[in-house]
């Protein structure tokens, strides 16, 4: 294993140790108490529900673009499409999972909100591995990474139901995947132009998390829209930025 891969591996081990040195993280029941409780058009928590629409739009669009490719091939190696197909499938499924959860926020429904998101996170890691390290490695790791993501939600659900909920694996999947992507981008040369679009996408996602954390203060500004509604829209734009990157980038020709 070369030094760059060792560095990624060491950073990941440190992250795993840091997270599991923390005490178990239960799911706060206050999390389900979102700021915007309004029912509109007969839909409970309407804006938090319908704001998931962009996930379905961009996810479906992404699946179509990656599967069809059009007149210009999107990938140097056609096998690279598979992680992106899984990524955009996760994005599209997030629309259904999140809408289902927000109709009646509770732990049992939150599972279906989180599973599609972990599919998206882990598939994107596999996509970056395919492009920056090895297509074969990315494809071999795709199923394993997605399974680990889903398992992290399953573990939380089982422990939460047993009365000692533990979000640590889920936290690790969500934020550890972002750490790995950033390290791979920093350490390995790109195969395509517009590599900075990954950074832009992650920055937009960080903004979405900020909106999520300020759900109630944003809604209190005028009672028009909540931070969580903005979080859905912004997170969907983050996924769109990956789609935009695929459509605009070109292979880098070696000098």
Distances, alpha carbon 105 to alpha carbons 23, 48, 122, in Å: 25, 11, 25
7-43 confidence digits (pLDDT tens)? 999 999 999 999 999 999 999 999 999 999 999 989 9
Residue 253 lies in a domain: no
Residue 224 lies in a domain: yes
159-211 confidence digits (pLDDT tens)? 999 999 999 999 999 999 999 999 999 999 999 999 999 999 999 999 999 99
The CATH number of the domain holding residue 214 is 1.20.1070
Residue 106 lies in a domain: yes
Give the integer Cα–Cα distance in Å for 48 and 84: 27
How many domains does the chain divide into?
1
Q: Tokens at residue 241, please?
A: 């930025």
Q: Radius of gyration over alpha carbons of the chain, in Å?
A: 19
Residue 122 lies in a domain: yes
Q: Is the pTM of this model over 0.85?
A: yes
Its domain, for residue 108, covers 3-248
110-135 confidence digits (pLDDT tens)? 999 999 999 999 999 999 999 999 99
Residue 68 lies in a domain: yes
CA–centroid distance for 102 within its chain:
18
Residue 255 lies in a domain: no
What would the DSSP string read from start to end of 161-198? HTT----HHHHHHHHHHHHHHHHHHHHS--SBS-THHH
Residue 138 lies in a domain: yes
Helices (H) then strands (E): counts for the chain:
10, 0
Query: Which pLDDT value is given to residue 253?
Result: 73
């Amino acid at each position: 294993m070369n030094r760059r891969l060792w560095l990624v591996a060491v950073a990941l081990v440190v992250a795993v140790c840091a997270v599991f040195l923390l005490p178990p993280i239960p799911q706060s029941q206050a999390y389900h108490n979102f700021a915007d409780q309004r029912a509109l058009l007969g839909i409970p928590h309407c804006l938090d529900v319908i704001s998931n629409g962009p996930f379905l739009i961009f996810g479906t669009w992404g699946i179509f673009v990656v599967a069809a490719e059009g007149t210009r091939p999107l990938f140097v190696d056609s096998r690279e499409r598979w992680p992106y197909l899984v990524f955009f499938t996760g994005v599209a499924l997030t629309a259904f999972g999140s809408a289902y959860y927000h109709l009646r926020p509770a732990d049992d429904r939150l599972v279906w909100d989180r599973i599609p998101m972990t599919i998206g996170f882990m598939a994107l890691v596999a996509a970056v591995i395919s492009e920056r390290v090895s297509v074969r490695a990315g494809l071999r790791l795709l199923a394993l990474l997605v399974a680990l993501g889903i398992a992290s939600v399953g573990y939380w659900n089982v422990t939460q139901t047993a009365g000692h909920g533990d979000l640590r694996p889920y936290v690790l999947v969500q934020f550890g995947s972002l750490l790995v992507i950033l390290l791979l981008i920093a350490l390995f040369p790109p195969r395509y132009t517009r590599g900075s679009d990954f950074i832009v996408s992650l920055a937009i996602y960080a903004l979405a998390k900020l909106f999520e954390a300020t759900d109630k203060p944003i809604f209190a500004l005028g009672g028009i829209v909540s931070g969580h509604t903005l979080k859905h829209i912004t997170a969907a734009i983050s996924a769109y930025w990956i789609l935009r990157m695929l459509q605009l980038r070109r292979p880098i020709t070696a000098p």
